[in-house]
Amino acid sequence: AATVGRHRDGALRVGGVDVRELAAAHGTPAYVLDEADFRGRATAFRDAFSGAFADLCGGADVYYAAKTFLCTGVVRWLAEDGLNLDVASGGELATGLRGAMPAARMVLHGNNKSRAELRAALAAGVGRIVLDNLAEVDVVADLARELGTTAPVMIRVTVGVEAHTHSYIATAHEDQKFGLSLASGRAEAAAAAVLARPELRLLGFHSHIGSQIFDTAGFEVAARRLLGLTARVRREQGAELPEIDLGGGFGIAYTSEHDPLAPADLAGHLAAIVERECRAEGIECPRVSVEPGRAIAGPSTFTLYEVGATKDVELDGGARRRYVSVDGGMSDNIRTALYDADYSATIASRRSAAEPVLSRVVGKHCESGDVVVRDEFLPSDLGAGDLLAVPGTGAYCRSMASNYNHVPRPPVVAVRDGVARVLVRRETVEDLLALDVG
């Protein structure tokens, strides 16, 4: 569904809008979000999962992971397009509600939810709360009683999978903060504790094995263990357990090195795994849900920067590297510095036939780790005033943006059918100063 292309004179166009017009109207840096791409991926996930699981368990539900990128406008699209929303804080919950996502279609996550967050979620009537530890069982049950309601809950299980991804974003091995461990029996103990509280309704088990994963093997192990657990708890504790949630984590191609599965293939694989495991366990298949974030939002957006200073450095062995400074950096994309993430860059404002030189795209912040794109061949005539696009910045860039050096955060501009619409306005220095009250 991507609508990115080049104008006759070489300038980048997206959603029918020329990037030079975007830069003139909205400034740089800016996150440029291709609405058709975002919504196309979201609905592709929706259709792929409801299709692949239709015969097995009447379809599967897709919860978009709000942490990836969230604003009211995007929530409206998701609500309209029949997706659900995974929120992990009071702020994400409030944004979901502001965007008119029905509370029943939201799930609340978190390893240390506050009572205020839990109370807000229960009062709004969220469809499920994922319990992350034993203490939370009683906290949620007591709050539900106070509010005179029943809380639909799931239990987050640490299934013991070593996902092949960066250690900061792998989440299902034993030695980390999330969830109740399967191996130690805590997940089953939590189920018993939930079943003992009439204010709670146990929907099933949840696992999220990590992020930016390409291999379905990890999901296979997770599904097998969750379904085994489901079978056991149904049998031994008499619980109904109508659902399981396999989390998100589906990888995207930041560079040509990666080859992600299409949603339909992914859903097909997972459905086959779930079917086989349910048969092996001799149980009726629970309704399945997944929580993709990156795979929906990531490819939809590029960051548009203006090039400023450049500097050439002689490397050992005689090679050269050019430092290309842009007007943003680690404040709008921390992923390169934090995870050693790979991005690419392309000249956006014109065509250049100049010879490509090994370049490093860096930001304007006061440290040398402020790198946006580690290695890219960019035209040797690239210079001040040129626009540069860094694709694949729709996931965990705006949502993890900071105000380092008191740099205001860039806007998010959605483009579609030749029209640009600001979803999130540019922050101003006045916005920042407004917080200083002493």
Residues of the shown chain interacting with ligand LLP in the complex, contacts defined by CB under 6 A: 65, 67-68, 86, 109, 169, 208, 211-212, 247-250, 291-295, 335, 339, 395-396
Strand order in the sheet with 4-6: 4-6, 12-14, 17-18
Q: How far is the CB of 292 from ligand LLP (least distance, A)?
A: 4
Question: Which candidate, 298, 288, 358, places its Cα nearest to that of 333?
Answer: 298
Backbone angles phi, psi at 390, to 5 degrees: -115, 105
**Both tokens of residue 208?**
């999220």
**Both tokens of residue 284?**
């009726």
Q: How far is the CB of 207 from ligand LLP (least distance, A)?
A: 9
> Taking a C-beta distance cutoff of 8 angstroms, is the pair 168, 193 a contact?
no
Residues annotated as catalytic are: 366
Q: Which residues contact 250 (CB under 8 A, 6 or more apart)?
A: 213, 260, 261, 266, 292, 294, 295
Indicate the residue among 23 and 157 with the shorter CB distance to ligand LLP.
157
Single-letter code of the amino acid located at 325: S
* Residues 138, 438: Cα–Cα separation, whole Å: 40
Annotation: binding site for substrate: 294, 335, 339, 367, 396
Characterize the bridge pairing of strands 60-65 and 84-87. parallel
Indicate the residue among 296 and 307 with the shorter CB distance to ligand LLP.
296
Annotation: binding site: 249, 291-294, 335, 339, 367, 396
Question: Which candidate, 171, 206, 209, 210, places its Cα nearest to that of 191?
Answer: 206
> Taking a C-beta distance cutoff of 8 angstroms, is the pair 405, 329 a contact?
no
| Region of residue 191 (left: phi > 0; alpha: psi -120 to 50; beta: else) | alpha
Q: How far is the CB of 159 from ligand LLP (least distance, A)?
A: 13
Indicate the residue among 322 and 335 with the shorter CB distance to ligand LLP.
335
**Host H or E run for residue 337:** helix 335-339
Indicate the residue among 19 and 273 with the shorter CB distance to ligand LLP.
273
Q: How far is the CB of 228 from ligand LLP (least distance, A)?
A: 21
Indicate the residue among 168 and 377 with the shorter CB distance to ligand LLP.
168
Indicate the residue among 23 and 42 with the shorter CB distance to ligand LLP.
42
Indicate the residue among 43 and 68 with the shorter CB distance to ligand LLP.
68
Give how far the C-alpha of residue 184 lies from the chain's centroid of Cα atoms, to the nearest Å.
29
Q: How far is the CB of 266 from ligand LLP (least distance, A)?
A: 11
Q: How far is the CB of 247 from ligand LLP (least distance, A)?
A: 5
| Residue 269: CB atoms within 10 Å | 15
Residues pairing with 244 in the sheet: 205, 288
> Taking a C-beta distance cutoff of 8 angstroms, is the pair 300, 73 a contact?
no
Annotation: binding site for pyridoxal 5'-phosphate: 249, 291-294, 396
Single-letter code of the amino acid located at 217: A
* Residues 399, 422: Cα–Cα separation, whole Å: 16
Q: How far is the CB of 259 from ligand LLP (least distance, A)?
A: 17
Taking CA atoms, 60 is separated from 34, 129, 287, 295, 379, in Å, by 26, 18, 6, 17, 47
Indicate the residue among 158 and 325 with the shorter CB distance to ligand LLP.
158
| Residue 418: CB atoms within 10 Å | 10
Q: How far is the CB of 190 from ligand LLP (least distance, A)?
A: 16
Single-letter code of the amino acid located at 32: V
CB burial of residue 198 (10 Å; 0-12, 13-18, 19+): exposed
